[in-house]
A = this chain, B = another copy of it.
C-alpha cells in the first residue's frame, strides 16, 4: 500500500467517532480503544462513563493508550454526536417500533459515503441494556450484527471490533486494495513456466514407467489441476524441477547399473 493511499485511508477513518454511552466496565473502554487502533480509528467519545480514566482501561487497551488519552468525555449523547452527518446506533434489542436497521457491511458503506466530507458516529449503549429510545431517536440508523438469535448480545468491544473491521474492509474494497490472495517473496510462475514444469513432470513419470506413454492423459490432468490450483511461484517451480532432475538422474543411473549387472 502506498503512503499516499494510507493517508487517504487514515483521513477517512479519522472522521469516524466511536461513542460509548454510560459504559459500566472500564475494561471494555480499553478493549474498544484497542479495537479502534487496530483498524485505524482515532476518535473515541465517552458519554458519562462509570469510571474513567482507569487502570483497567489502560491494561485492556494494551498499547492503544493514545486513543484513551485523546478520548473526549462528555455529558450527553447530543454533544457526542454534534457535527456528525450520520449517526449509527448499535443495538441488539428488538423494539416495538422498528428503527431502520442495517447490517454492519451496509452500515460501513453508509458511513464511508459520508466521511469523504463530514464526520460520522458509531454509538454503543450500556452493557446491560443498550441505547434508550431517546438515544436511538438521535440515530439515522440502527446497526444490527446478525447474531445467533438464542444468544444475540455481543460484548461491547466485540461489537465495536466487528463494525470497525467492516469499515476498514469496505474502505480497502472500495479502493481496490482488498488483499485476499497470498503474497510471495517470489514472482508468480507464468503459464509457460508451468507448461515446462508439466513437460518435465510427464517426461520423468514416463521414464519411471509410472505413466504409460500411450495414455498419460488422466494422471497428467489431475497433476495439472493440483499445481494450477496451488498457484506456484518461480522458486517453487525451480524446486520442483530440481526434484524431477534428481529423480531422472537417479533413475537413469540405476537403469545403467541394472543393465551393467
Contacts and interface: CB of A to CB of B under 8 A. Distances in A.
A98 interface: yes
Complex copy number for this chain: 2
B182 A99 contact: yes
B102 A147 contact: no
Contacts of A81: none
Contacts of A162: 161-162, 165
A97 B182 CA distance: 12
Interface residues of A, number: 51
A39 B105 contact: no
Nearest to A10: B148
A146 B179 contact: yes
A38 B182 contact: no
Does more than half of chain A's interface fall in helix, strand or loop, or is it mixed? Answer: loop
A165 B172 CA distance: 18
A158 interface: yes
Interface string A184-216: 110000000000000000000000000000000
Interface in A25-49: 31, 34-35, 37-40
A99 B181 CA distance: 11
Contacts of A242: none
A148 B99 contact: no
Given A161-B162, A180-B103, A63 B151 contact: yes
Contact of A98 (B142, B148, B161, B185): B185
8 contacts: A1-B149, A38-B145, A63-B151, A99-B182, A142-B182, A146-B169, A157-B158, A161-B162
When A and B form their complex, which 4 residue pairs have the shortest distance between CB atoms, in order from nearest?
A100-B182, A106-B180, A40-B148, A158-B161
Given A34-B155, A101-B182, A161-B162, 20 more contacts: A1-B149, A31-B155, A35-B155, A37-B151, A38-B151, A38-B153, A38-B154, A39-B148, A62-B155, A96-B185, A97-B185, A98-B184, A102-B182, A103-B178, A103-B179, A105-B178, A146-B169, A146-B179, A147-B168, A165-B165
